[in-house]
Amino acid sequence: MKILDPSGASGLTVDRSGGDETVSFLVLGDTGEGDESQFAVVGSLLSQAAGTDFMFICSDVIYPAGGVEEYQDKFFWPYREYPGAIYAIPGNHDWYDDCVAFMHWFCGVESPPPQAPLGLSPKLLLRRLLWRRPRRPNPERLAAMNTFALPGQPGSYFAIDTGPLLLVGIDTGITGGVDAGQAAWLKRISRQSPKPKILLTGKPIYVDGEYHAGRIENSAETVDQIVTAAEHNYIAAIGGDIHNYQRYPVQLDDGRKMLYLVSGGGGAFMHETHSIPNIDRTRIGERVSEEEFRCYPLRGDSLSLYSKLYARKLLGRLRGAREVPPEEAAAYLAEHLGVQPVREEGIAVSEHSRRAADALMQLPGRGRGALHIPFSEWLDWNEAPLFKSFLRIDASAGEVRICCFAATGCAGQEGEPPVEDELVWTADAPSGWQ
């Protein structure tokens, strides 16, 4: 592995090609909660690590707010047995300490950057007063941390030339956009190589039935416009941030099919999927269909799990939340959303389950509203079965295979985790993805 010449776009490119015609790697997002739900993923992850060249963490390496010393229990210890290199791009939680810990461990930056002058800006003054300052690590504790050697990456956004495939990782910060300098680099690296490319981003472009193109500072252009330009040859975009798995094969105007994935089920608390609408009834329904959409956990399993969570809480009991069996939850949502049941057809929804599901669909924590964050963490679930996930990607000249593996936390499935989704791109296929 080497970092290429620092001039131009290649200065932020890690060269792992080495003449190999194939590459295999793991991708997971939103990992570092440091509790049972993170560690439950590790065994399944290692079971699929054989033959992989590296692992890539896509957003939110550390919860809740970065921290140099937090890496011991939430990064180095969980992944100590992974034999390959580990790279990452930061998510919004990694930026809550101004990305100091991320840059320290992944990029070798020993001291934080100097603070910008306040000038006459009330906004900067307010931020300086209220923003959480990075904690100074204890040098003795830092020296004693059980760390493995990271390969070193040139920045919080960078590319990896794997040989048959170019991975392009961008840093979307807290707000989900990129600044003008990063956008210029993204354009350069995108047109510099004709290889098939996959974008890795802290904020997904398609998620929860919505489209977020990715703002660029002081520009009407978006990240997605760069990525979907035919001459740049992107075949997929994978984002973290939302803690589940979602698949959107999007039909582009030129006939290509671009694959957008959400892969944020790597360990942190689960984001529900039962509020995701019928894709055919959304604004993105013209480009991707409900039939082609897939999520994990399935909507019905999400509703059933959240019914158990809320049934344990006082607010849930007051609002009538009771446990809804998975098959009835699936039938209820099929009726509610106007979709085909994902479990067997003909399941009757009892009045008890219907009342509980109706109440649950009105409770805080549903969707991504203002109350989502406190209620999602309040409803953290650390008991098997879990609904975590990660990706294994295998690429060769003209073919890319992506497998989404479930990590349930069940001992019987740890060594052979279920495959929840599998997709194959071939260069000579009419639309690319199958």
Residue 406 in contact with residue 418, Cβ under 8 Å? yes
List, in sequence order, every beta strand (DSSP E) within 197-319: 197-201, 206-207, 210-211, 234-239, 245-251, 257-263, 294-296
* 37-51, 61-75, 194-208, 216-230: least confident range: 61-75
Verify that 29 and 142 share a domain, yes or no: yes
Model confidence at 161: pLDDT above 50: yes
The model carries a pTM of 0.92
Is the residue at 275 inside a domain?
no
What pLDDT score was predicted for residue 115?
Answer: 63
Kindly state the tokens that stand for 326. 């998975």
Please state, in angstroms and as integers, the Cα–Cα distance from residue 357 to each residue in 170, 267, 272, 304, 376, following that order: 39, 26, 14, 9, 17
Least confident segment among 44-58, 78-92, 418-432: 418-432
Does 315 share its domain with 405?
Answer: no
Q: Are strands 13-15 and 158-161 parallel, antiparallel or unpaired?
A: parallel
407 falls within a domain: yes
Domain limits at 395? Answer: 2-113+132-270+385-426
pLDDT range class, residue 368, cuts 50, 70, 90: low
Which of 339, 233, 241 minimizes the C-alpha distance to 294?
A: 339
Helical segments of 346-406, H only: 351-360, 372-378
Same domain, 262 and 352: no
Q: How confident is the model at residue 116 (pLDDT cuts 50, 70, 90)?
A: low
pLDDT of the residue at 343: 73
Cα–Cα distance measured from residue 187 to residue 234, given in angstroms and rounded to the nearest whole number: 12
Given a cut of 90, whether residue 80 has pLDDT beyond it is yes
CA distance 266 to 27: 9
User: What pLDDT does 1 receive?
Assistant: 40
Residues paired with residue 170 on neighbouring β-strands, in sequence order = 201
Number of domains within the chain: 2
70 and 189 inside one domain: yes
8-12, 35-39, 349-353, 419-423: segment of lowest average pLDDT: 8-12
Task: Return the number of other C-beta atoms located less than 10 Å from residue 355's C-beta.
Answer: 14
**Measured distance CA(378)–CA(376) in Å, rounded:** 5
Q: pLDDT higher for 44 or 341?
A: 44
pLDDT tier, 127 (very low <50, low <70, confident <90, very high otherwise)? low
Percent of the chain residues past pLDDT 70, beyond the cut: 87
State the average pLDDT over residues 247-270: 95
279 occurs within a structural domain: no
Residue 248: CATH number of its domain: 3.60.21.10
Q: Whole-angstrom Cα distance, residue 182 to residue 195?
A: 20
pLDDT of residue 283: 96
My answer on whether 107 and 150 are in the same domain is yes
Asked if residue 75 and residue 31 are part of one domain, the reply reads yes
DSSP 138-206: PHHHHHHS--PPP---SSSSEEEE-SS-EEEEE--TTTS-B-HHHHHHHHHHHHH--S-EEEEESS-SE
Q: How far apart are the first and last CA of the chain?
A: 32
Residue-wise pLDDT for 371-427, tens only, equals 555 666 677 888 889 999 999 999 999 999 999 999 999 999 999 999 999 999 999
Distance CA 182, CA 235 (A): 21
Same domain, 160 and 250: yes
Say whether both 350 and 413 belong to one domain: no
